[in-house]
Structure 1
């Protein structure tokens, strides 16, 4: 295996980060690494795991859902090994499981389902949030993300980080449904809907599990509105939901995530990972 070690995130492109190489039957490596003071970003390993799963699926079956568990803190400076289990290939659906390891330690597991596109009732119940267009919103630097730009419209709640923002990938992306779903997955873990529930004593931190449903095809090199809503806290955990919609008001994907929600540590500055 050739490890591509780059000195800093600024020297890495998103497509380079998501590039996988074969590692035996149904095995893949993510060889691009770089030095960063933070733990491995959860959206990165989730996107890589989805790509690995999709590489083993028959052509013409994009993902329609994924469910992942963050088991250990990962390291941006170490390559990732992704092992895929082929659970089932039916007439319309394929199911896969992925185990992501660093140094023989499991850091993330993923279950994903893929479906052959078919015609059906296309109906959306709830309207997307009524916010200014990206061109009318203030520029916003999305932390840690490679190859993305952001815009921040007015927020429904106060807080140090937005729960509602526009984003799009600035790198040219090919016409590949699996890749666009992986780029959406990469974006989907960057913020939390739990910040409005933060108190002087308790705050959100590391992600525990993460789920996505891909309702309609997405182009991640076009603007997408992410809207996150905190729902409940209890038992040292917090749970929120979210949506990803295009400027034409079409819901493209939905998010659900649970994170740790504990007493503040001295010197803490907010969400981890």
Structure 2
């Protein structure tokens, strides 16, 4: 693994404080608050560590309650709600400064045979030859906010290559659809749970901002207040986070200061490996301009 990927794996591994109680360090990605993908991935990690390895997470539903502080660790409290014959359910509370910042429920299942069907993978160009988000950002790095500019000078653990990139600094209205390829930048151990933590971490990149595309708005505009409110994630099969995955996103609705987006994640074989949905705050704040 590369050093930055090794650091991300360590970040998602968590420290056991006491039974059902874990602590994770935080990373600063240059956003206004703690990156939501971090608490998603760490919550999945905390819940998974209380379930027998044969039972794999298949769904997670969470709410972002308060902005997190990227300079402080996060404590995760796990409630072992139920262990049935096939399914296990866990509730997780992420805490900073004695107050909850994120809560979620996660469900785990033993492997089982059954009916199978899926939607077709979109026909889009593969990742080969596409520029990464970092490479695209570095073309206009002097225009980026200072905190983000610094991050663009470092390698990232998750490589993201947009299929249909837009100019985040001068956005033009377009259809609310987005496609990007992503993978962990290095080879990971054969630990199925770890690959799911990492995919969970990555699903918060770019999802909510899909709802801004029809409005010619961008995350980097100072007048935009953008924050995830909830996040739902379903895993349909085992996945390797260190192999290219296509993230196909669309936003069917926005209104009342909120945007809704959903995503489908496919592997290179065209198999649907995960589905995602998220609603978030997308306020235009003239007083911030």
- Fold match by TM threshold 0.5: yes
Name 2:145's counterpart in structure 1: none
Query: 1:236: Cα distance to partner?
Result: 1.9
Name 2:164's counterpart in structure 1: 154
2:120 maps to which of 99, 109, 127: 127
TM-score if structure 1 supplies the norm length?
0.85
* Counterparts in 2 of 1:37 and 1:66: CA distance versus 1, 3 Å: closer
Deviation per CA, 1:139-167: give whole Å up to 9, x if none.
33298794111222236xx5628821101
Deviation per CA, 1:85-108: give whole Å up to 9, x if none.
011000110000000001101100
Deviation per CA, 1:248-270: give whole Å up to 9, x if none.
211110010001122344556xx
* Counterparts in 2 of 1:113 and 1:37: CA distance versus 1, 3 Å: closer
1:70 maps to which of 33, 43, 64: 64
- Equivalent residues in 2 for 1:98-177, closer than 5 Å: 98-124=92-118, 126-141=119-134, 146-154=156-164, 160=168, 163-177=178-192
Distance 1:228 1:11 in 2: 25
* Counterparts in 2 of 1:37 and 1:244: CA distance versus 1, 3 Å: closer
SS class of match (1:13): helix
Name 1:82's counterpart in structure 2: 76
Find out whether 1:23 has 2:44 as its counterpart: no
Query: 1:234: Cα distance to partner?
Result: 2.0
SS class of match (1:135): coil
Provide the aligned length of Structure 1 versus Structure 2: 257
Structure 1 unaligned segments of length 5 or more: list them.
1-8, 269-273
* Counterparts in 2 of 1:253 and 1:35: CA distance versus 1, 3 Å: closer
TM-score if structure 2 supplies the norm length?
0.81
Higher mean displacement: 23-32 or 106-115: 23-32
Find out whether 1:198 has 2:215 as its counterpart: yes
1:40 maps to which of 34, 40, 43: 34
Q: If each structure's helix is expressed as a fraction of its own residues, which one has the higher value?
A: 2
* Counterparts in 2 of 1:32 and 1:266: CA distance versus 1, 3 Å: closer
Higher mean displacement: 39-48 or 29-38: 29-38
RMSD of aligned alpha carbons: 2.7
Distance 1:57 1:31 in 2: 22
Structure 2 unaligned segments of length 5 or more: list them.
138-147, 172-176, 218-222
State whether residues 228 and 240 of structure 1, in contact with CA within 8 Å, keep that contact through their aligned partners in structure 2: yes
Ranges of 4+ aligned residues in structure 1 off by more than 2 Å = 9-12, 31-38, 136-146, 158-163, 197-200, 261-268
SS class of match (1:230): strand
State whether residues 67 and 111 of structure 1, in contact with CA within 8 Å, keep that contact through their aligned partners in structure 2: yes
